[in-house]
Amino acid sequence: MISLGFIAEGVAQGGASGGYDPLLPGLILLLPLLGFAANGVLALMAGSRAADRIRGGGDGAAIAGPDGKKPFTHTLPTWIGPGVLLGAFILVAINFFRMLGVELTEPVIRSYWSWMPTGTLSVDAAIQLDQLSMIMMMVITGVGFLIHMFSVGYMKEDPGYPRYFAYLNLFVFFMLVLVMGANFPVMFVGWEGVGLCSYLLIGFWFQDREKADAGKKAFIVNRVGDFGLLMAMFILFATFGTLDYGAIFQQAPELFVYGGAAVTAVTLFLLLGAVGKSAQIPLYVWLPDAMAGPTPVSALIHAATMVTAGVYLVARSSVLFAMAPASAAAVATIGALTALFAATIALKQYDIKKVLAYSTVSQLGFMFMGVGVGAYAAGVFHLMTHAFFKALLFLGAGAVIHSMHHALHSTHKDWDAQDMRNMGGLKRFMPATWITMWIATLAIAGIWPFAGFFSKDEIIWYVGTAGAFSGLYVVLWGMALAAAVLTAFYMTRMMVMTFHGPNRTGEDEAKHLHEAPLNMTIPLGVLAVLSVFGGWINVPGSVRESFFGGFGLLPMSAWLDSWLAPVTAGADAIRMAELGAYADVSPVGGGHVVWGAIATTMALVVVILTARHFLAREVQPAHIDGEPESGIGKVLYNKWYVDEFYDRIIVRPILATSRFCWRVIDRVVIDGTVNAVGAVSKGVGWFGSLFQTGQINTYAFIIALSALVVLGAFIF
């Protein structure tokens, strides 16, 4: 019925392809899926073997067979897992370069089968290729491949090795579905699918109750967002009678009123979805807990790809958000609040991954600000550069944790391998990791000429210029600048505590600290290169002409902006018509170049001051240092007590209501009524039984009498 060729090719549908001929787009999806299937089978085999060992009294953690060699279930995934990603990446790259050469104004849609034909609704299993999805696919498969490669080294001693790659491949598949889907339901398949994979990967070491809890929390919180997305789809269907991107975005300007209730409702529900997936206020709480997963997972899912799905969603629906200025303002406001709020928490975290987690939340806030003020390309730009340097930071942190773990394991010390207070001075042991992570730190801090400078600067700039439309954006602009400063601070703090100063791990342990193997450092190196040069693809004209663009030396001028122009054209047109063009000046005066200089200088100063401050300070290992006891430090360390707050006002009341429903309504009220009916029937029956004497004559007499009465009634 459905051959492989059909899956790989699909049926071309709609619109002119503008000379772009996609190469086997379906195969891009199929490869990770096949990888999942193969690794999944291996994982079940390995799992069954481990289970047998546990039943036999063993611990099930050993991988090697009796001959000391690793079984094929643990060697094959090394090739299958990253292999399919490499294949997918090559395919994506070919398609990308094919698309580069043509003027593609409309997405190329490939349809595979009719998914949900109900009679009034028609949803096809269709994918679309356009500039936005291409950028996302490049990031997903490219960074994804590097992280897969890193994982080979990071996870090689884990008994769940094949299962890990199965989940990771499945994640990539769903992530690709998310960005390639040609309509909302198909996108939603990817949307929930990545949530599922995230759930499975966070709880990868499910034997640990906390980790399993973290996975569950991520899934449930994400479901709140998914609910929003569902509602948005319903309103869209009620309005347009279809859920295809093309039809909706084309008709939106006619069927929706600018700033009307319907479009605002749609976009606010979309925002709820985006907020859930991209860990923004108020649904950000799952992301820090999600650090329970293996570190490469944090890099891939919780930094580079999945959490940016919300940004992708807003950019994808840019037409709708452009028509709903209130929602767009909400996007930007939530972004700014989150950026600042998460940054404050990151100031006082000691767990290296927690710092990075809150940093991710904060950076996602920047992206939200970008897409919220209508600078969709800037948001996607930051999404991309962030994928490079944050993946690098996470992978670097992974290398550090890996090394720390080995060191602590060698003497069975029960210290926390992720607590920065137990590290210090690691640059001696892990120079490659140290250098690459510094590059990423400078990038995320927004220091010229690293990638983060260009993307973050562009967002801040657009938020500032939007101040011309509303005073709100001036406030947001201030918050963005503050968040940028905090970013430079907490990142430098993390770097110094981890890599500089004296080593605090302990003398015996320090001997076992080592640099990560080559298959882990190569991805770091590649990502470091990208973190340096990645920002050069989108340098706006004025900046490019200035010092920051090497006075026009940088190769590409605002390439990403023009690349994404066909996707955002609809939204830009509406903006232009309704609000007018952006001002070319910040709220307090000064052009783009001036503020770029101010921002980078400020960041540099903060980095230097912070570094000096923490270098001078003597840090104690975690067991001596303990928790901050009072003041703002305690509040920040405890993450503003938001988890406790949610627990108190949401989780517990719902649980209490649930118990009430069960114990009182179900058991007492409803079942009580039912049983009372039963009891009454019984009572009546008992009363009636009193008339039964057991004497046949009595019965016969009553029968006769009754018959007479009935007869009498007939006659008279």
Partner 1 sequence: MLVEALILSAILFVVGMLGVLVRRNAIIIFLCVELMLNAVNLSFVALSRFMGIEGQIYVFFVMTVAAAEAAVGLAIIIAIFRHYETVNVNNFNLLKW
Partner 2 sequence: MTGFLDAVGFGEWILHALIWLPLVGIGAVLLAPEERAKEIAFGWTTGLFVLSLGLWWSFDPAGPLFQHMSSTEWIGAFGISYALGIDGISLFMILLTTFTMPIAILGAFKYVKERQRAFYALMLLLQTGIVGVFATMDLFLFYVFFELTLVPMYFIVGIWGGERRIYAAVKFFLYTALGSLLMLVGILYLYWQAQLNLGYPSFHFFDLLGTPLTLTEQLWLFVAFGLAFAIKVPLFPFHTWLPDAHVEAPTPGSVVLAAVLLKLGAYGFLRFVLPLFPEASAHPTVVMIMLTLGVIGIIYAAWVAAVQPDAKKLVAYTSVAHMGFVLIGIFALTTNGLQGGLIVMISHGISTGALFLILGMLYERRHTREIEEFGGIAKVAPLLATALVITAMASIGVPGTSGFVGEFLALLGTFERYPVLAFLAATGVIFAAYYMLPMVQKILFNPLDREENRAMKDLSGREIAVLSPLVGLMLLIGVFPGPILDRMEPGVQAIIEWVDEGAAGGALMEEAKGPAGVREAPPPAVPTTAELGTSAMDRIEATAELIHGSAAQREWIRVAIGDQD
Q: Which of residues 635-674 bind partner 2 (CB under 8 A)?
A: 654-655, 657-659, 661-662, 665-666, 670-671, 674
Using the rule CB under 8 A, is 716 a contact of partner 2? no
When asked if residue 578 is in the footprint of partner 2 (CB under 8 A), the reply is: no
Contact partner, 116, from partner 1, partner 2, none, Cβ < 5-8 Å per class? partner 2
Residue type at position 566: P
Based on CB atoms, which residue is closest to partner 2, 212 or 611? Answer: 212
Cβ-contact 222, 276 below 8 angstroms = yes
Size of the site for partner 2 (CB under 8 A): 64
Q: Shortest Cβ distance from residue 676 to partner 1 (Å)?
A: 22
Of 391, 433, 363, the residue nearest 148 (C-alpha): 391
CA–CA dist 164, 166 (Å, integer): 5
CA 632 – CA 609 distance, rounded (Å): 21
Q: Is residue 630 a contact point for partner 1 (CB under 8 A)? A: no
Interaction between residue 116 and partner 2 (CB under 8 A): yes
Task: Please compute Rg for the chain using Cα positions.
Answer: 30
Closest of 190, 191, 198, 389 to residue 292, by C-alpha: 198
Q: Which two tokens stand for residue 473?
A: 């954006």
3-state secondary structure (DSSP) of residue 514: coil
Q: How does DSSP classify residue 639?
A: G
Nearer residue to partner 1 within complex by CB, 6 or 701:
701
CA atoms within 13 A on the CB side of 87: 20
Please, what is the minimum distance in Å from the beta carbon of residue 677 to partner 1?
20
Neighbours of 465 (CB within 10 A): 22
| DSSP for residue 651 | I
CB of 62 to partner 2, least distance (A): 14
Q: Which of residues 577-616 bind partner 1 (CB under 8 A)?
A: none
54 makes contact, choosing from partner 2, partner 1, none, with CB < 5 to 8 Å by partner type, with partner 2
User: 634-673 mask for partner 1 (x: CB under 8 A)?
Assistant: ----------------------------------------
> Does 695 sit near partner 1 (CB under 8 A)?
yes
Residues 6+ apart with CB under 8 A from 662: none
Nearest distance from C-beta of residue 82 to partner 2, angstroms: 23
CB of 679 to partner 1, least distance (A): 17
Q: Does 626 bind partner 1 (CB under 8 A)?
A: no
Q: Which stretch binds partner 1 (CB under 8 A): 446-454, 628-636, 668-676, 697-705?
A: 697-705
Please tell me the distance from the alpha carbon of residue 516 to that of residue 328, in angstroms, as a whole number: 44
Picking from 280, 273, 284, 276, the residue whose alpha carbon sits closest to that of residue 313 is 273
Nearest-approach distance from CB 694 to partner 1, in angstroms? 3
Name 17's Cβ contacts closer than 8 Å, sequence gap at least 6. 104, 108
Residue labelled with tokens 């019965």: 699
Residue 118 binds to partner 2 (criterion: CB under 8 A)? yes
Binding partner of 692, given partner 1, partner 2, none, CB within 5-8 angstroms per partner class = partner 1
Token duo for residue 191? 């949307």
- Contact status: 696 vs partner 1 (CB under 8 A): yes
* Cα–Cα distances in angstroms (integers) from residue 4 to residues 10, 24, 141, in the given order: 10, 11, 21
Q: Segment 172-191, which members bind partner 2 (CB under 8 A)?
A: 185, 188-189, 191
CA–CA distance, 644 with 649 (Å, rounded to integer): 9
207 binds partner 1 (CB under 8 A): no
Q: Of 226, 244, 289, 572, which lies in the binding site for partner 2, with binding defined by CB under 8 A?
A: 226
Determine, following the binding rule CB under 8 A, whether residue 701 of this chain makes contact with partner 1: yes
How far apart are the C-alpha atoms of 70 and 65, rounded to whole Å? 6
Minimal distance in Å, beta carbon 279 to partner 2? Answer: 17
Residue from 93, 230, 468, 565 touching partner 2 (CB under 8 A): that is 230
Count of C-beta atoms within a 10 Å radius of residue 338: 28
Nearest CA to 234 out of 268, 276, 266, 188 is that of 266
Minimum Å gap between C-beta 692 and partner 1 is 4
> Are residues 382 and 455 in contact, defined by beta-carbon separation less than 8 angstroms?
yes
Question: Which residue number, 115 or 533, has a Cβ lying nearer to partner 2?
Answer: 115
Q: Of the candidates 431, 692, 709, 710, which one interacts with partner 1 according to CB under 8 A?
A: 692
* Residues between 413 and 442 with contacts to partner 1, criterion CB under 8 A: none
Binding-site partner at residue 60 among partner 1, partner 2, none, CB < 5 to 8 Å by type:
partner 2
Q: Is 435 exposed, middle or buried (0-12, 13-18, 19+ CB in 10 A)?
A: middle
586: enclosing H helix or E strand: none
Q: Does 3 bind partner 2 (CB under 8 A)?
A: no
496-535 footprint of partner 2 as x/- string (CB under 8 A): ----------------------------------------
Q: Which residues contact 313 (CB under 8 A, 6 or more apart)?
A: 187, 229, 270, 273, 274, 277
Q: Are 280 and 274 in contact (CB under 8 A)?
A: yes
Nearer to partner 2, 116 or 594 (CB): 116
List phi, psi (to 5°) of 484: -65, -40
Residue ranges binding partner 1 (CB under 8 A): 689, 692-697, 699-701, 704
Residue ranges binding partner 2 (CB under 8 A): 43-44, 47-48, 50-51, 54-55, 60, 113-121, 125, 185, 188-189, 191-193, 196, 199-200, 203, 206-209, 212-213, 215-216, 219-220, 223-224, 226-227, 230-231, 233-235, 237-238, 654-655, 657-659, 661-662, 665-666, 670-671, 674, 678, 714
